[in-house]
Amino acid sequence: MFRNVAELIEKAKEDNIPVSEVMIRQEMEAKELSRDKVMTQMEENLTVMEEAVEEGIKGVQSHSGLTGGDAVLIQKYMKEKQPLSGDLLLDAVSKAVATNEVNAAMGRICATPTAGSAGCVPGTLFAVKDRLNASREDMLRYLFTSGAYGFVVANNASISGAAGGCQAEVGSAAGMASAAIVEMAGGTPEQTAEAMAITLKNMLGLICDPVAGLVEVPCVKRNAMGASQAIVSADMALAGVTSRIPCDEVIDAMFKVGQRMPSAFRETAEGGLAATPTGKALEKKIYGS
């Protein structure tokens, strides 16, 4: 039904439907499933995300000891202080962190689009839903909109840190979340594409450098920044700000940057933060000499 963002937006405009509906119909057609079945499957994903956020907010710790408890600290800070970045944005950050802390603690999460970038979409969703008075169906549509953009990136570039760096993982996830926020807030299909483009442009070149080869440091905090980027980009798009470079071209640029990125910066733990003295010391502490 669609292969790229241009076709996605064209289809939405042609049928006068939101991006989420285009994705729902594509799922029905591609998988030969009824609407009820497609919605039920996404409801299951939504439930997993909700449970992960709730678990992380209560506090979890990874087996390595590298991550855990930061979501609790952020929520505590929000209750006791007046956050400089605002409650909504910081709530999204805390819930993105919560999700990735659950992942690091070997808990159950929903890859969106990967496990290492699983915090951006649910983190933003569970932060903005109350502000936007979202129904359960609205929340499901949020995930379908996210999925539509993830589908395009996966089929035209990459969502793998090993193939394209963290720009391909957290960058894509943040862009997906940004597009979904725009639709939930009443934006046009075109504005969802602008939000995706603005977000991904600002993530270009982000390397994947996991300390000790684990999806913990700096992955958890990068999801936090991805969630904040998604909200800001969504606001910009809703305000009428556009990307001078079309969304499909931004995605293609991200792919080409990833192809030229040295292997040390593509999930090998051979460069970046993983190669710092402290990064190496943590690796030795975890695995021994």
Give the pLDDT means over successive 10-residue stretches in the chain (289 positions). Answer: 96 98 98 98 98 98 97 98 97 98 98 98 98 98 98 97 98 98 98 98 98 98 98 98 98 98 98 98 93
Phi, psi for residue 147 in degrees, rounded to 5: -65, -35
Beta strands in the chain (DSSP E): none
Q: Which residue segments constitute the domains of the chain, with CATH numbers given?
A: 5-287 (1.10.4100)
pLDDT at 1: 86
Distance, C-alpha 234 to centroid of its chain: 13
DSSP letter (8 states) at residue 208: B
pLDDT at 225: 98
- Check if the beta carbon of residue 174 is closer than 8 Å to that of residue 230: yes
**Rounded Cα gap, residues 13 and 8, in angstroms:** 9
**Rounded Cα gap, residues 230 and 225, in angstroms:** 9
Provide the total of helices (H) and of strands (E) in the chain, helices listed first.
Answer: 14, 0
Q: Classify residue 44 as exposed, middle or buried by CB count within 10 Å of its CB (0-12, 13-18, 19+).
A: exposed
What DSSP string runs through 24-91? HHHHHHHHT--HHHHHHHHHHHHHHHHHHHHHHHH--B-SSSSSBSHHHHHHHHHHHS--TT-HHHHH
Q: Is the pTM of this model over 0.85?
A: yes
pLDDT at 278: 98
**Which of 107, 122, 111 lies closest to 50, judged by CA?**
122
Which residues face 266 on adjacent strands? 208
- Check if the beta carbon of residue 184 is closer than 8 Å to that of residue 138: yes
Phi, psi for residue 208 in degrees, rounded to 5: -110, 110
Residue 39 tokens, joined: 């919605």
